[in-house]
Amino acid sequence: MTVLPTALDANSPEYAANRATMAAKLAELETEHAKALAGGGEKYVTRHRKRGKLPARERIELLVDPDTPFLELSPLAAWGSDYAVGASLVTGIGVVEGVECLITANDPTVRGGASNPWTLKKALRANEIAFANRLPVISLVESGGADLPSQKEIFIPGGALFRDLTRLSAAGIPTVAVVFGNSTAGGAYVPGMSDHTVMIKEQSKVFLGGPPLVKMATGEESDDESLGGAEMHARTSGLADHFAVDEHDAIRQARRIVARLNWRKAHADPGPAEPPKYDEEELLGIVPGDLKAPFDPREVIARLVDGSDFDAFKPLYGPSLVTGWARLHGYPVGILANAQGVLFSEESQKAAQFIQLANQRDIPLLFLHNTTGYMVGKEYEQGGIIKHGAMMINAVANSKVPHLSVLMGASYGAGHYGMCGRAYDPRFLFAWPSSKSAVMGPQQLAGVLSIVARASAAAKGQPYDDEADAGLRAMVEQQIEAESLPMFLSGRLYDDGVIDPRDTRTVLGMCLSAIHTAPVEGARGGFGVFRM
C-alpha cells in the first residue's frame, strides 16, 4: 500500500492552536482581497455602472463558460504601495468555449484603469504565463494608458506589453482584444497588436491621440467617434474585425472568436481523479503559528494528491526532504517537500537526482516549501554543503519540466532558490498565509547585523552602545518580519497569489491543466556541470 497514513489529531490542542492562527491570517487575507474586489471604491463603481458599463470582474464572468471557475492571479499586486490593491488590472485563467485562456481586464474604476508600475509587472507576468503554457490571451481593454505621474517607471519597460502580444502571435498563440472604452496612445497597440479585435458601438475609443492632443499637434478639429470610434474602425480603418452593439454582444463575439480558434491542447485531459483520503479542511491545522516548530509535509501531501497515494523516493536517505511520486487531479507529479526545515548535503543530492528523474520521465514537479535554508557550520562546510546545494540549484535551474511552488511555511535563504523560488521560473508560485520568505529569519538577520556592528566598533577601538544595539535589533527584526509576510511579497508580484490552504489542490489542479496546454518535455541533459 502506498496510501499515506496520517498521525494528525484534529482533536489535539496543537491542531486547534494551528487552526486558530491560520484562521486569523485567512481573515486578514480576506480583508485585503476585498480591497481588490472593491476596485476604485463605491463612488467610481457607481459612476461606472451609471454609464451602463460592467465592472471588470463581471465582464470576465460573462466571458468564461457558465459555472466554470476563474483562477485569479496576483490579486494583491501593489499591496503596501501607494497604489490601489490589485493594481487596476484583473488577470487570471478561465475557460472560454472549452479553451483555457489567459484573461486580463483593466479595472476602469481605479484611476481610469491607468497602468502604474505594479499594473505593468502584473500584466507582464500574465503574458509570461500565457507564453510558457501556450494559453490564448483575451484582453478586456478600458484604460487611461500610463499612470502619468509614474510614467518614468513604466514608459520605457512598458513597451514589452505590445512586444509580448506580437511575440505570442508569432508563436502561434492567439490574442484577442475586446475594447470596452478608452484605449488611447500606447493602449491603442493592444488592439493593434492582437490577432482579433472587437469594438463596441459608441464605447470603444481607440486612437493614438485624442481630440485635444490632435488639436495641439496639428490644429485639426476632431471628435472621439471620427478619430477612434468602433463604427469608424469597423467600416473605415479596418482595425476592428468585429463590431458589437453593446458589452454583452462584444463578449458574445469574443466567445465566438475563441470557439473558432481550432485550439487544441498538447495533452488530453486525464479525466476524473480520486480525491484525497483525508479532509482538505485539515490543511488549516498542520502548519504551526511558530515556524520554528517542524511539521510533517506528508500530512499536507496526503491531503493534496489523488487517493493520498504517494510513492516515496529514497525515504531513508536525506529524510529532511521528502521526495516522491503521486498524481494530482490525474496529472503525474514529482513532489519535493521540506520536512525538518534545514537542507543538508544528502537532501541536496537526493533532490538533484530526483529532479533529473522527473526530467527523464517528463513529470512536472511540485515544491512544497518549509525551509530555513542550507545547513551552516564547520562540519557541513567540510562535508561540501556548498557544492551539494549548488547541485540542487543547478538541477532546478536547468530542469525543463514545469515546476509548481507552494510556500507553506518558511522559505529562507538559498533554500528558497533550491526549492524553485520565484527567480527559478516556476510556472506558478503560490503562498499560504502562514508562509514567510526572506534572506534569513528576522532574529537571525538582526543578530548578524549586531555582531557585525559590534566587531566593527571593536576594530575601531570604539565602545559599543548595548542599549542602542537592543533598540536597533528590535527595529530591524520588525522590519524584516513585515517584509517576509506573504501579503507584502504578493504585493511585489513575488508570487501568483496567497491562497487558502484548503484551495491548494483545486488551484494546483487548474494550473496543471493549464500547463498541459503546452507540451511537457523534460531536459534529457543540458544541466550545468555537477560538482561531485
In this chain, which stretch among 7-15, 144-152, 287-295, 371-379 interacts with ligand COA, using CB under 6 A?
144-152
Nearer to ligand COA, 179 or 287 (CB): 179
Select 247 or 306, whichever has its Cβ closest to ligand COA.
Answer: 247
CA distance 301 to 289: 19
Sign of the torsion formed by the C-alpha atoms of 188, 190, 193 and 199:
negative
Helices 466-484/442-459 angle, 10° precision: 150
| Ramachandran sector of residue 464 (left: φ over 0; alpha: ψ -120 to 50; beta: rest) | beta
Task: Find cell 511520486 and name the residue.
Answer: 325
* Cα three-residue angle 239-101-51, rounded to 5 degrees: 55
Q: Which is nearer to ligand COA, 111 or 427 (CB)?
A: 111
Q: Which of 285, 386, 377, 296 is nearest to 340 (CA)?
A: 296
| Residue position matching grid coordinates 533532490 | 351
- Between CA 143 and CA 270 the distance in angstroms is 39
Q: How far is the CB of 78 from ligand COA (least distance, A)?
A: 14
Q: How far is the CB of 122 from ligand COA (least distance, A)?
A: 17
CB of 191 to ligand COA, least distance (A): 15
Judged by CB under 6 A, does residue 75 bind ligand COA? no
Q: How far apart are CA 340 and CA 142, in angstroms?
A: 49
Between 27 and 148, whose beta carbon lies closer to ligand COA?
A: 148
Residues in a beta bridge with 332: 327
18 or 116: whose CB is closer to ligand COA?
116
Q: How far is the CB of 396 from ligand COA (least distance, A)?
A: 39
Q: Is 86 in the site for ligand COA (CB under 6 A)?
A: no
Give the 3-state secondary structure of residue 493: coil
DSSP 53-84: ---HHHHHHHHSPTT---EEE-TTTTTTSSSP
Interface residue with ligand COA among 19, 33, 111, 265 (CB under 6 A) is 111
Beta-bridged to residue 72, according to DSSP, are 92
Task: State in angstroms the smallest separation of the CB of 213 from ligand COA.
Answer: 7
With beta carbons less than 8 A apart as the criterion, state whether 142 and 114 touch: no
Minimum CB distance to ligand COA, residue 225 (Å): 14
Choose, by CB under 6 A, the member of 24, 27, 148, 468 that binds ligand COA: 148
56-63 vs 247-259: helix axis angle to the nearest 10? 40
Sole binder of ligand COA in the list 145, 174, 285, 501 (CB under 6 A): 145
Applying the rule CB under 6 A, the residues between 499 and 528 that interact with ligand COA are: none
**Nearer CB in complex with ligand COA: 160/273:** 160
> Considering only residues 176-235, where is the footprint of ligand COA by CB under 6 A?
182, 184-186
Closest-by-Cβ residue to ligand COA is: 145
Q: Which is nearer to ligand COA, 207 or 263 (CB)?
A: 207
What is d(CA 324, CA 317) in angstroms, rounded to the nearest whole number? 12
Instruction: Give yes or no for residue 114 binding ligand COA (CB under 6 A).
Output: yes
Binding residues for ligand COA, per CB under 6 A? 111-112, 114, 144-148, 182, 184-186
